């Protein structure tokens, strides 16, 4: 890492203009949360592998900003030459640069890797001292990354209507209505999951995310798909042609945005998309009467750009007064699952739940046989001498591989939805811990084991966390787990009026923890895709308010995942996926209509980690009903011995 930083400083000195600082973001050209191997530039220069963070290199210092989820991990991974900057505790990167860099400082960044929102925020801060944000002539990290992984060339596949539930024509029609309402003539689509959702395609360019590196431009009468053409089969090319989508090379998006800005971007099938949708209310548009040109001429000709998702490099090619900076009109329709997607999500979670139960049955048996553990049901210290008898060991990686095997046996399985957090004891206190085969811990029957995992199926994406103990949990571990469970139940049972966002509900999951002076430093819930990204906006359930956080609405999918983490000791998290649904209430104040949640994740909560004495009757009733549904729903997918285990794991709790 030291050699890399030294090499970057040399390039910074020789750059025109010379750079006082270099920003290395985590994001790729699409502002993705998870990026491909060749786009992990921040991880390459700093050694910190978490998904969120930003590196800043000056001539004398190297600093890494990350959020509370990764404080512990970053502290462990950063070398002595790096200083950890804790978001929410230390000055933000723009304030630090303003305060610590000289007047007129030139601060370099690859603006393809920075959003419009972020770049404008930095520029505003820099103006106070006449500092300036400089677009580097090339990505300097790429210059020093000698063994940078090659670009992905994985095939683009069509996502069938039987799983997508809506046609491309239908989605384009809706998007174009939104364009007209926004007085826009086009939109630049940069987010990978939005491109995939809009065109009903999938790929494998980013690990765990079934997306393809691509951009899209949609106008009122044409649609473009910017992708490495090697990835398209003849069948996929035909599919694009049938849907009126013109395929262009990935790199052409830059020059085409310039053409778009001057209204010169015309597809060979420029009128097809519009004429096939004659019911579009064109509002501020007027018919030109010229069939050889555009079907519509706009009085207002804005170009829609999502400032939180579009890179500053593309935005810079547009006329500022001709841009509509507003959240993507695709974000909400993607989050509102259609009936086919909801049914698919439910079926995928049932199969996934069966895999998790099969895993717990297997793991319970292994822990008893190899380590003399009392097991999933009994509460006693392990028989330590048994541990010395065999040579076979269970590690965080080997057991997570076994969980993947169970999932892989299920219908429509296409891989994991993220790298499994399989963590024992103190490792479970690292919120996004990812075990490595060479350094991971061995399972310990006297320590908590937390696994946060999920899978990609053609009909849905899953995400589940369970915390278990195969020996005798301490009273503090049991008390903490019960507080987490009470918060999980409280949020999952919430009833709330239309118009409420996740920020208003977040405290429901924390109040049982706050009672003991405990808390956790991550959000409580995120949206989830339909065979797409496991983290999906625009909604969320979080203690931190967000301007981009929309109200929860019927048919949204969201997680319910409170936790508690004690550094150096243990970690607890419980997670289910929920679907927002309408709710019948005795009254209807304000005629708003009320909403509630439906759990679609099915796996037991470990009884011996629950202090039943602090549960209220309503919580006991809910647990018993949930466990009864687990038995009923998962029964067709389990063999006799697995079903017997599940029956024992879900025995009713006496109130």
For residue range 3-28, what is the model confidence (pLDDT) as tens digits? Answer: 999 999 999 999 999 999 999 999 99
Please compute the mean of the pLDDT values over residues 616-627 and round it to a whole number: 98
For range 642-655, the mean pLDDT: 95
Tell me what pLDDT residue 549 has.
72
Whole-structure pTM value = 0.92
Residues of the chain above pLDDT 70, percent = 93
Strand partners, 452: 421, 465
Which are the contacts of 541, defined by CB distance < 8 A and separation ≥ 6?
A: 491, 502, 503, 505, 506, 509, 523, 524, 525, 526, 558, 559, 560
Within 13 Å, how many C-alpha atoms sit on residue 610's CB side? 25
Tokens 């603006």: give the residue. 111
Give the residue carrying structure tokens 């009833």: 495
Q: Does residue 389 surpass a pLDDT of 90?
A: no
User: What count of Cα atoms within 13 Å lies in the side-chain half-sphere of residue 551?
Assistant: 11
CA distance 447 to 444: 5
Q: Is the predicted pLDDT of residue 292 greater than 50, yes or no?
A: no
pLDDT at 544: 85
Which residues, listed in sequence order, are joined to residue 311 by a DSSP beta bridge? 115
For residues 28 and 14, give the distance between their C-alpha atoms in angstroms, rounded to a whole number.
Answer: 25
Go through the chain and tell me how many residues it has.
655
Q: Distance between alpha carbon 636 and the CA centroid of its chain, in Å?
A: 31
| Residue tagged 């507080």 (tokens) | 483
Judge if 1-144 and 339-378+394-646 fold alike in CATH terms: no
Residue 271 in contact with residue 291, Cβ under 8 Å? yes
Q: Which of 237-251, 426-440, 598-612 has the lowest mean pLDDT?
A: 426-440
- Does 385 or 395 have the greater pLDDT score? 395
Q: Which residues of 112-131 are buried (b: 16+ CB within 10 A; e: fewer)?
A: bbbbbbbbbebeebbeeeeb
Nearest to 22 by CA among 61, 66, 57, 59: 57
At residue 548, the pLDDT reads 63
3-state secondary structure of 614: helix
DSSP codes joined into one string, 217-235: EEESS-EEEE--GGG--HH
Quickly count: other Cβ atoms within 10 Å of residue 170's Cβ: 14
State mean pLDDT over 244-254: 98
What is the CATH T-level fold of the domain 339-378+394-646, as seen in this structure? Creatine Amidinohydrolase (3.90.230)
Asked if 650 and 638 touch (Cβ cutoff 8 Å), the reply is no
Mean pLDDT, residues 293-303 taken together: 63
Q: Using the Cα atoms of residue 316, residue 317, residue 319 and residue 322 in order, give the sign of their dihedral.
A: negative
> Among 621, 628, 620, which residue's Cα sits nearest to residue 604?
628
Query: Is the separation of the CB atoms in 653 and 617 below 8 Å?
Result: no
Which DSSP helix (H) or strand (E) runs through 415? Answer: strand 413-416
Reading the block at residue 519, the tokens are 């808390």
**CA–CA distance from 24 to each of 44, 108, 248, 291 (Å)?**
10, 9, 29, 48
Task: Give the integer Cα–Cα distance in Å for 254 and 258.
Answer: 7
Strand-by-strand arrangement of the 82-86 sheet? 82-86, 62-66, 54-58, 21-25, 106-109, 132-135
pLDDT > 90 fraction of the chain, expressed in percent and rounded? 89
Contact 569, 425 (CB under 8 A): yes
Dihedral sign, Cα of residue 205, residue 305, residue 318, residue 130: negative
Mean pLDDT across the chain, nearest whole number? 93
pLDDT digits (tens, 9 = 90+) for 424-434: 999 999 998 99
**DSSP track, 72-102:** HHHHHHS-TTEEEEEBTTBPPHHHHHHHHSP
What six digits make up the tokens of 206? 């980013």
Instruction: Please check the confidence at residue 77 and state whether its pLDDT lies above 70.
Output: yes
Q: In b/e form, how buried is each residue of 469-488, taking b as 16+ CB within 10 angstroms?
A: bbbbbeeebbbbbbbbbbbb
- The residues near 44 (Cβ < 8 Å, ≥ 6 apart) are 4, 141, 145, 148
Structure confidence at residue 335 (pLDDT) = 98
- Beta carbons within 10 angstroms of residue 283's beta carbon: 14
CATH architecture of 157-267+299-334: 3-Layer(aba) Sandwich (3.40)
Q: What pLDDT does residue 286 have? A: 42
- 1-144 maps to CATH 3.40.350.10: yes
Report the pLDDT value the prediction gives residue 299, as an integer from 0 to 100: 59
Strand, coil or helix: 569 = coil
The residue assigned the tokens 């997670």 is 575
275, pLDDT greater than 70: no
282 pLDDT above the threshold of 90: no
**Model pLDDT for residues 341-380, shown as the tens digit of each residue:** 999 999 999 999 999 999 999 999 999 999 999 999 998 8
Looking at residue 293, its pLDDT comes to 41
pLDDT tens digits along 158-212: 999 999 999 999 999 999 999 999 999 999 999 999 999 999 999 999 999 999 9
pLDDT at 100 over 90: yes
More confident: 515 or 68: 515
- Looking at residue 213, what DSSP letter applies? S
Sorted by where each begins, the domain ranges of the chain are 1-144, 157-267+299-334, 339-378+394-646
Parallel/antiparallel/unpaired status of strands 54-58 and 62-66: antiparallel
Q: Is residue 124 over pLDDT 70?
A: yes
Confidence of residue 390 (pLDDT cuts 50, 70, 90): low
């Amino acid at each position: 890492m030291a050699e890399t930083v030294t090499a970057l400083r040399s390039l910074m000195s020789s750059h025109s203009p010379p750079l006082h600082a270099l920003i290395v973001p985590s994001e790729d050209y699409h502002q993705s949360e998870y990026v491909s191997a060749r786009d992990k530039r921040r991880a390459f220069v700093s050694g910190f592998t978490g998904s969120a963070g930003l590196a800043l290199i000056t001539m004398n210092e190297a600093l890494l900003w990350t959020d509370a989820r990764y404080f512990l991990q970053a502290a462990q991974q950063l070398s002595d030459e790096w200083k950890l900057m804790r978001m929410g505790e230390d000055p933000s990167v723009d304030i630090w640069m303003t305060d610590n860099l000289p007047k007129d400082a030139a601060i370099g960044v690859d603006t393809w890797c920075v959003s419009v929102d972020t770049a404008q925020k930095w520029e505003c801060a820099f103006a106070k001292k006449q500092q300036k944000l400089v677009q580097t002539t090339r990505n300097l990290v790429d210059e020093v990354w000698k063994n940078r992984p090659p670009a992905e060339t994985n095939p683009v596949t069509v996502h069938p209507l039987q799983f997508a539930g809506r046609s491309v024509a239908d989605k384009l029609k809706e998007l174009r209505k939104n364009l007209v309402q926004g007085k826009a003539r086009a939109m630049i689509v940069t987010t990978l999951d939005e491109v995939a959702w809009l065109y009903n395609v999938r790929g494998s360019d980013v690990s765990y995310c079934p997306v393809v590196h691509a951009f899209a431009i949609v106008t009122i009468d044409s649609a473009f798909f910017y992708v490495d053409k090697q990835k398209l089969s003849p069948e996929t090319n035909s599919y694009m042609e049938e849907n009126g989508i013109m395929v262009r090379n990935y790199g052409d998006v830059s020059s085409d945005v310039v053409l778009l800005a001057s209204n010169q971007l015309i597809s060979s099938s420029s009128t097809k998309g519009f004429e096939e949708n004659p019911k579009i209310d064109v509002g501020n548009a007027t018919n030109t009467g010229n069939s050889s040109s555009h079907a519509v001429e706009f009085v207002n000709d804005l170009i829609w750009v999502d400032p939180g998702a579009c890179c500053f490099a593309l935005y810079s090619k547009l006329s500022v007064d001709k841009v509509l900076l507003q959240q993507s009109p695709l974000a909400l329709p993607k989050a509102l699952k259609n009936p086919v997607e909801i049914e698919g999500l439910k079926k995928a979670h049932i199969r996934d739940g069966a895999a998790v139960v099969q895993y717990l049955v297997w793991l319970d048996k292994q822990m008893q046989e190899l380590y003399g553990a009392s097991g999933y049901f009994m509460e006693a210290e392990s028989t330590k001498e048994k541990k010395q008898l065999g040579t076979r060991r269970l590690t965080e990686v080997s057991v997570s591989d076994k969980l993947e095997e169970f999932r892989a046996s299920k219908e429509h399985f296409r891989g994991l939805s993220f790298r499994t957090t399989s963590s024992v004891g103190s490792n479970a206190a690292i919120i996004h811990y990812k075990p490595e085969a060479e350094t991971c811990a061995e399972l310990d029957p006297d320590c908590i084991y937390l696994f946060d995992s999920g899978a990609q199926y053609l009909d849905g994406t899953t995400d589940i966390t369970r915390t278990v103990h195969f020996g005798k949990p301490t009273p503090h571990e049991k008390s903490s787990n019960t507080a987490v469970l009470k918060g999980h139940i409280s949020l999952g049972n919430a009833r709330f009026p239309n118009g409420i966002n996740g920020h208003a509900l977040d405290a429901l999951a924390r109040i049982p923890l706050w009672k003991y002076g405990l808390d956790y430093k991550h959000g409580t819930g995120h949206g989830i895709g339909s065979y797409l990204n496991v983290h999906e906006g625009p909604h969320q359930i979080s203690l931190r308010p967000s301007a981009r956080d929309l109200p929860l609405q019927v048919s949204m999918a969201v997680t319910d995942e409170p936790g508690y983490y004690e550094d150096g000791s243990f970690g607890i998290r419980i997670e289910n996926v929920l679907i927002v649904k309408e709710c019948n209430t005795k009254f209807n104040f304000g005629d708003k209509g009320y909403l509630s949640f439906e759990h679609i994740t099915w796996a037991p909560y470990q009884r011996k980690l629950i202090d039943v004495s602090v549960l209220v009757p309503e919580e006991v009733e809910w647990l018993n009903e949930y466990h009864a549904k687990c038995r009923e729903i998962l029964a067709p997918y389990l063999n006799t011995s697995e079903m017997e285990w599940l029956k024992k794991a879900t025995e009713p709790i006496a109130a």
